[in-house]
Amino acid sequence: MLPVMNAHASNIAPKKAWFLRLIPPRPTFDKDLNEHEQKLMTEHFLYWKGLFGQGICVFGGPVFDPRGVFGVVVVENANEDELREIADGDPSVKAGLNRWEIAEMRITFLPKP
């Protein structure tokens, strides 16, 4: 059995992060996007790709749950106001296509660069 260690015991402070679940307008969204929705999702992708490049977004992508597709994004080291501004800046959310469910989290494991 592996020993259980907490962040304080290992002198590694966990980083504050936010887990964002992107809720699409319908469970079949990945299969039946119309042209306007595809345009918004391309803008959504480019928005988050830019934030990833800036080190704001830790990771993200679609989750192909059999009950319905949804998106996941993790943002690190933002306070809640900054996070809300970032999330609300997503073109697909601004257009009213998608919405976010947001929860604070602690990232304790990440691959080394």
What's the total number of domains in the chain? Answer: 1
Q: Which tokens hold the place of 11? A: 């002198």
Look at residue 67 and tell me if it is in a domain.
yes
Strand partners, 113: none
pLDDT value, residue 15: 60
- pTM of the predicted structure, to 2 decimals: 0.83
Domain span holding position 91: 32-105
Look at residue 54 and tell me if it is in a domain.
yes
Look at residue 26 and tell me if it is in a domain.
no
Q: Encode the chain (113 residues) as per-residue pLDDT tens digits.
A: 544 444 444 455 556 799 999 999 999 999 999 999 999 999 999 999 999 999 999 999 999 999 999 999 999 877 888 899 999 999 999 999 999 999 999 888 877 77
Look at residue 65 and tell me if it is in a domain.
yes
Query: Could you give the C-alpha distances from 100 to 6, 26, 39, 73, 89, in angstroms and in order?
Result: 30, 14, 19, 10, 11
Q: Which tokens hold the place of 56? A: 């704001």
Residue 17's Cα: distance from chain center in Å? 10
CA distance 21 to 23: 6
In CATH, what number is assigned to the domain containing residue 73?
Answer: 3.30.70.1060
